């Protein structure tokens, strides 16, 4: 039996296991799942890691973002708030999102008809406000003013970037397009994404997704393939051979509100990039483009809402082929 060493950050605290609640989403179309509260505990003890490097805004490995996208009814409105939390989970301040001060705001119709989006930029949050514990709240109303959705995001523990602080975390970026049957339709997206530091912009036909989680990503082994022909004396003559790197991502103490979206949405994207930031890993992995190939059953325990999830990937580019002329 393998032994998993959990991170020393707040996500691994035993008292967090029974107290986490994240409620996000109005329907399956939003890409989130709604969950009713089962315990009378604060809903922000489980925290997602987030980092910002105030001395290097353009370093995408050291500055984190988080994306949110919603379908909005015709003539509907979205009210988004960035909320800072006190140690006891009460609100310290609530900031109404009206522009791109704290990220990239895409009002309804900017990305696509009846779609509203926001990319929370933790560098902007830390530089304009401060480090600490933050969450987002989203309210969607019909044109008549009737509220049909009111939910919080996960709680983010925003810290200054350092190798030590980011140890045992992995960062996942995707470029999502296409559509999900009975789910969110990312097709037809077209908008302009400002680049970090205001150094330009990119015309995007995809939705950028990003998340940082506690865990580890590493090369687990290799797939090996051989094509041979049999000679007259029954020898096995090699025609070509190929090696393909296989990777394992081990996610620690992750709630299903995050693993569901990760597996059922983000990792289905046509472009998936993973960066590992573990000090003692066997190699350096930055923006490794991979393809999800296997989803083993998660490891979970009674009276523990969080689970351990392993995910298996292969190299997206499989060009290491040896041939003979």
Q: Render pLDDT for 127-174 as a digit per residue (tens, 0 to 9).
A: 999 999 999 999 999 999 999 999 999 999 999 999 999 999 999 999
20 compared with 96, residue with greater pLDDT: 96
Alpha carbon distance 261, 251 (integer Å): 14
Band the pLDDT of 45: cuts 50, 70, 90. Answer: low
Percent of the chain topping pLDDT 70: 84
Band the pLDDT of 196: cuts 50, 70, 90. Answer: low
Give the pLDDT of residue 256: 85
Give the pLDDT of residue 100: 95
CA atoms within 13 A on the CB side of 69: 25
Averaged pLDDT for residues 173-188:
94
CA-angle at 269, arms to 268 and 273, nearest 5°: 110
Give the pLDDT of residue 198: 63
Alpha carbon distance 289, 271 (integer Å): 7
CA atoms within 13 A on the CB side of 43: 18
Mean of all residue pLDDT scores within the chain: 85
Averaged pLDDT for residues 67-87:
96
Chain centre to alpha carbon of residue 58: 19
pLDDT of 69 > 80? The answer is yes
Q: What is the pTM of this model?
A: 0.82
User: Picking from 24-33, 36-45, 72-81, 243-252, which range would have the lowest pLDDT averaged per residue?
Assistant: 24-33
User: Picking from 218-222, 228-232, 255-259, which range would have the lowest pLDDT averaged per residue?
Assistant: 228-232
Give the sign of the dihedral formed by CA 188, CA 203, CA 197, CA 175.
positive
Percent of the chain topping pLDDT 90: 65
Averaged pLDDT for residues 168-194:
94
Pick from 258, 267, 317, 253: nearest CA to 295: 267
pLDDT of 116 > 70? The answer is yes
Q: How far is CA 228 from CA 224, 234, 238, 259, 323, in A?
A: 13, 11, 4, 42, 11
């Amino acid at each position: 039996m393998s032994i998993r060493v959990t991170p020393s950050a707040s996500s691994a605290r035993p008292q967090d296991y029974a107290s986490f609640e994240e409620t996000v989403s109005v329907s399956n179309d939003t890409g989130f799942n709604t969950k009713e509260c089962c315990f009378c505990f604060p809903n922000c003890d489980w925290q997602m890691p987030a980092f910002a490097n105030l001395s290097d805004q353009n370093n995408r490995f050291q500055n984190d973002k988080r994306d949110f996208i919603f379908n909005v009814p015709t003539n509907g409105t979205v009210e988004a708030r960035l909320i800072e939390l006190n140690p006891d989970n009460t609100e310290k301040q609530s900031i109404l999102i009206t522009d791109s001060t704290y990220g990239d705001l895409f009002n309804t119709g900017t990305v696509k008809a009846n779609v509203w989006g926001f990319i929370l930029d933790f560098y902007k949050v830390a530089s304009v406000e401060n480090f600490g514990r933050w969450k987002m709240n989203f309210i969607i109303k019909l044109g008549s003013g009737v509220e049909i959705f009111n939910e919080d995001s996960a709680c983010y523990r925003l810290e200054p970037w350092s190798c030590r602080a980011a140890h045992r975390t992995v960062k996942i970026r995707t470029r999502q397009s296409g559509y999900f049957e009975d789910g969110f339709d990312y097709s037809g997206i077209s908008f302009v994404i400002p680049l970090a530091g205001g150094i330009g912009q990119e015309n995007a036909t995809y939705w950028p997704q990003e998340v940082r989680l506690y865990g580890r990503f590493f090369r687990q082994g290799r797939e090996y393939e051989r094509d041979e022909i049999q000679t007259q004396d029954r020898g096995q003559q090699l025609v070509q051979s190929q090696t393909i790197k296989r990777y394992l991502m081990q996610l620690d103490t992750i709630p299903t509100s995050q693993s569901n979206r990760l597996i059922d949405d983000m990792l289905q994207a046509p472009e998936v990039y993973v960066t590992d930031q573990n000090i003692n890993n066997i190699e350096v992995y930055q923006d490794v483009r991979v393809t999800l190939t296997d989803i083993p059953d998660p490891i979970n325990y009674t009276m523990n809402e969080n689970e351990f999830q392993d995910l298996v990937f292969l190299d997206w580019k499989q060009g290491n082929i040896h041939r003979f002329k």
